[in-house]
Amino acid sequence: MRKPFIAGNWKMNLERKSALDLVARIKEHVGARDDVDVAVFPPFVYVDEVARALRGSKIAVGAQNCCDEPHGAFTGEISAAQLADVGATLVILGHSERRHVYGEGNELVNRKVHAALDKGLAVILCVGETLEQRQAKQTEKVIGGQLTAGLAGVSARDLLKITIAYEPVWAIGTGQVATAKQAGEAHAYLRGVLGGVYTDSLADQTRIQYGGSVKPDNVKELLLVPDVDGCLVGGASLKAETFLPLIDGRRMR
């Protein structure tokens, strides 16, 4: 049985006070619950302070990206070891904004996955097709390719530290959420690919989140889809009023 995993990707939003106010609300809301995993992904500069604020809670803190190199002359980059040092236990890699705005390709994403795993970070590996690719019926080819390339060389043991996030690019920040049918098809396909590369049993244990315009009014339907194991949330993760109901999404069943 896969526990739902609700993750808030703050992107380049919030500042010290609003971040700390939000995590205080999340901490209070989650308390000692163990029916759901929750993580927040602040901008780099707040990871340390948010991790301190959440110490002793059940909420994990991660970063939105990391460098593929362990250290050295890489101006503006942050290493996986530095993230782990300030309390991050997770990192989001291959987010569509990294792929499409900053030109990150599958090979770079794969190197980042290895860099993160080497330092003990868990990974949310994002995959997703653009609208043009969906319309050209290339969804499976694109997301299957991103998945296998992103996981190249990752051992079965390390797969247990990876969550997959299916995030159709056309649904991110647009208010246009995938239907339960679209999400279900993509998630089942990704799980099948994982089963082919690893084993069915490992594929069965791997969580696949949905991301893209998840909101309190659509989360219930998405979390009812058998292969949807939680969500990666942008806009709705920035306010307690919209994020806390997502944490309770599965309870509405």
User: What residues line the site for ligand PGA (CB under 6 A)?
Assistant: 9, 167, 172-173, 211-214, 232-236
Interaxial angle between packed helices 106-118 and 139-150, expressed in degrees from 0 to 180 and rounded to the nearest 10: 40
| Shortest distance in whole angstroms from residue 214 CB to ligand PGA | 5
> What ranges in the chain are assigned the alpha helix state H?
16-30, 44-53, 80-85, 96-100, 106-118, 131-135, 139-150, 156-159, 180-197, 200-205, 219-223, 240-247
Question: Residue 9 or residue 79: which is nearer to ligand PGA going by CB?
Answer: 9
Nearer to ligand PGA, 69 or 221 (CB): 221
Please give the Cα distance from 88 to 116 (Å, whole number): 11
Q: How far is the CB of 176 from ligand PGA (least distance, A)?
A: 9
Which residue, 68 or 167, has its beta carbon nearer to ligand PGA? 167
Tell me the one-letter amino acid at 105: G
- Closest separation between CB of residue 210 and ligand PGA, Å? 10
* Three-state secondary structure call for residue 105: coil
Catalytic residue among 97, 129, 167, 187: 167
Q: Which residue's CB atom is positioned nearest to ligand PGA?
A: 234
The CA radius of gyration of the chain, in Å to the nearest whole number, is: 17
H or E, element range at 93: strand 90-93
Q: Residue 246 Cβ, how far from ligand PGA at the closest point, in Å?
A: 10
Residue pair 155/167 in contact (Cβ under 8 Å)? The answer is no
Query: What is the rounded distance in angstroms from the CA atom of residue 106 to the CA atom of residue 109?
Result: 5
d(CA 95, CA 89) in angstroms, rounded, equals 17
Pick the catalytic residue: 95, 97, 129, 187? 95
Cβ pair 122, 66 in contact under 8 A = no
Looking at the Cβ atoms of 184 and 211, the one nearer to ligand PGA is: 211
CB of 167 to ligand PGA, least distance (A): 6
Active-site residue 167, yes or no? yes
Q: Which is closer to ligand PGA, CB of 51 or CB of 233?
A: 233
Question: Which structure tokens are listed for 114?
Answer: 């290895």
Contact between residue 95 and residue 126 where contact means Cβ atoms under 8 Å apart: yes
Find the shortest distance in angstroms from Cβ 75 to ligand PGA.
26
Q: Which is nearer to ligand PGA, 164 or 236 (CB)?
A: 236
Residues 192, 237, 38: CA angle, nearest 5 degrees: 60
Positions annotated as catalytic residues are 95, 167
